[in-house]
């Protein structure tokens, strides 16, 4: 599951990271520069002490080497070499840093007249000050990072406020696409232009919806009227006592076609309306009755085929859905099973929360399975126009039903239609 971070907090996080990186870089630079300056000053101090000590020693050999809290001096000669710490005896001329008796020292070494002069600087206090300085830099960096985060949060709040206001207006309007946004509430900047663009888009969408409503109303009248005329003429012919028996089968085909067209028109008109709302009246539909009706009305597809149809009702189920839409879904699934099974069995089972249809027909390949719900795709050549299963997919999306299909070529197909847990109820 992806957790999305709000734009305001992303801007704040960016400022905080930027402030932290700048603080870290500045801290490293300042620390390096300070240590370099510190060592340079120590070496200059040691050089001055060394020069002063040598000058005094040359004037008077019994001059006492420098000795204080931080600075110590030594003169190494052949007579006193054994009394000098071993770590100091073999140092070359120049600047050094060594550890003596567990303490660190900066050491300056010089030679004159077979004598070795050493001046040591105790670095204990320097290391203590360095630790304090590191703590100061870390505290400053942390403070800088927190200030950057606070500044970023404040700026993000100021900058994103118009966007948040625009989002709130759009959310408050909801499906009222005829109601425009209050563009006067926004400055003449990018957000203001966005608000105007949203208004223009809502206007286009409103015009489209109005045209769709007009088309839906017109098509409802224009299609239902000829279908009703055909049904009326069919009823007259079927009840006629002088009906030629050779016309009976064509009239039965006309009867099935008009019934299918009528249901298809009703389904398309229902789908053209908005998604089902919680305030819509609840329509209970007995799945078993609809399933039996579908099987009876499509049994003609098995004429002259060695196919056995079995229907098992494990548990009667009533769901909340439009009967016409449920009929269209089940009719498409049953019709495909009957149409593409030439011998063998078709098993239809009504389970607690699903309808399972299994057949021993010609089956489908992987490409057919992948594309079977695409619009205008026919999985078996040119038979049909490929609208049935795409319509099934739309209806299932409307009610959040799921379809699972398993198929093997020349082995058969198994289709499972699962209803939503909240949609069905078991009759008492």
As a whole number of angstroms, the distance between CA 234 and CA 250 comes to 10
DSSP state letter for 40: H
What pLDDT was estimated at residue 427?
A: 47
275-425: in CATH 3.30.565.10: yes
* Model confidence band, residue 176 (pLDDT cutoffs 50, 70, 90): low
What pLDDT was estimated at residue 428?
A: 35
DSSP state letter for 39: H
Residue in the structure block whose two tokens are 């949609």? 423
As a whole number of angstroms, the distance between CA 387 and CA 379 comes to 11
As a whole number of angstroms, the distance between CA 55 and CA 348 comes to 115
Q: Give the model confidence (pLDDT) of 198-250 as tens digits.
A: 777 777 777 777 777 777 667 666 777 777 777 777 777 777 777 777 777 78
What pLDDT was estimated at residue 384?
A: 47
As a whole number of angstroms, the distance between CA 146 and CA 104 comes to 37
7-145 and 275-425 share one fold: no
* Model confidence band, residue 426 (pLDDT cutoffs 50, 70, 90): very low
Q: What is the mean pLDDT of the chain?
A: 82
List the beta bridge partners of residue 307: 344
Q: Give the model confidence (pLDDT) of 66-106 as tens digits.
A: 888 888 888 888 888 888 888 888 888 888 888 888 888 89
Taking alpha carbons only, the member of 409, 329, 342 closest to residue 369 is 409
**% of the chain exceeding 90 in pLDDT:** 21
What mean pLDDT is predicted for residues 3-32?
Answer: 84
Taking alpha carbons only, the member of 161, 189, 173, 162 closest to residue 181 is 173
pTM, to two decimals: 0.54
Has residue 65 got a pLDDT over 60?
A: yes
What number of other Cβ atoms are within 10 A of residue 26's Cβ?
Answer: 14
The ranges assigned to domains in the chain are: 7-145, 190-267, 275-425
What pLDDT was estimated at residue 284?
A: 87
What mean pLDDT is predicted for residues 258-272?
Answer: 77
- CATH number (3.40.50, 1.10.1760, 3.30.450, 3.30.70) of 7-145 reads 3.30.450
What pLDDT was estimated at residue 178?
A: 63
As a whole number of angstroms, the distance between CA 169 and CA 94 comes to 77
Has residue 365 got a pLDDT over 90?
A: no
Cβ partners under 8 Å of residue 259, min gap 6 = 297
More confident residue, 9 or 316: 316
């Amino acid at each position: 599951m992806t957790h999305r971070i709000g734009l305001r907090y992303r801007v704040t996080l960016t400022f905080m990271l930027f402030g932290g990186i700048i603080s870290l870089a500045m801290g490293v630079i300042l620390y390096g520069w300070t240590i370099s300056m510190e060592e340079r000053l120590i070496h200059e101090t040691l050089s001055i002490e060394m020069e002063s000590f040598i000058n005094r020693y040359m004037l008077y050999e019994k001059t006492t080497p420098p000795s204080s809290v931080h600075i110590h001096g030594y003169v190494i000669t052949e007579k006193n070499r054994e009394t000098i710490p071993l770590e100091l005896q073999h140092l070359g001329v120049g600047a050094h840093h060594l550890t003596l008796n567990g303490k660190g020292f900066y050491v300056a070494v010089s030679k004159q007249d077979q004598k070795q002069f050493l001046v040591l600087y105790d670095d204990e206090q320097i290391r203590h000050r360095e630790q304090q300085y590191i703590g100061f830099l870390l505290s400053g960096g942390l403070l800088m990072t927190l200030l950057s985060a606070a500044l970023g949060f404040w700026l993000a709040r100021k900058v994103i406020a118009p966007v948040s206001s625009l989002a709130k207006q759009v959310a408050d309007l909801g499906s009222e696409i005829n109601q425009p946004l209050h563009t006067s509430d926004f400055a003449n900047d990018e957000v203001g232009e966005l608000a105007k663009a949203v208004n223009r888009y809502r206007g286009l969408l409103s015009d489209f919806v109005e045209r769709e409503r007009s088309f839906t109303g017109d098509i409802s009248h224009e299609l239902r009227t000829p279908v009703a005329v055909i049904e009326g003429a069919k009823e007259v012919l079927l009840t006629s006592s002088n009906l030629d028996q050779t016309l009976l089968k064509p009239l039965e085909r006309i009867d099935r076609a008009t019934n299918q067209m009528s249901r298809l028109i009703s389904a398309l008109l229902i789908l053209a309306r908005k998604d089902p709302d919680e305030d819509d009246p609840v329509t209970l539909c007995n799945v078993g009755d609809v399933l039996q009706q579908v099987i009876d009305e499509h049994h003609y597809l098995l004429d002259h085929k060695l196919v056995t149809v079995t229907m098992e009702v494990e548990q009667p189920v009533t769901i909340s859905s439009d009967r016409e839409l449920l009929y269209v879904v089940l009719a498409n699934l049953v019709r495909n099973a009957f149409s593409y099974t030439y011998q063998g069995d078709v098993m239809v089972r009504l389970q607690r929360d699903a309808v399972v249809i299994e057949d021993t027909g010609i089956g489908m390949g992987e490409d057919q399975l992948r594309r079977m719900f695409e619009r205008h795709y026919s999985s078996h050549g040119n038979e049909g126009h490929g609208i049935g299963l795409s319509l099934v997919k739309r209806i299932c999306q409307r009610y959040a039903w799921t379809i699972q299909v398993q198929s093997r070529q020349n082995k058969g197909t198994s289709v499972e239609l699962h209803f939503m847990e909240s949609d069905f109820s078991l009759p008492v």
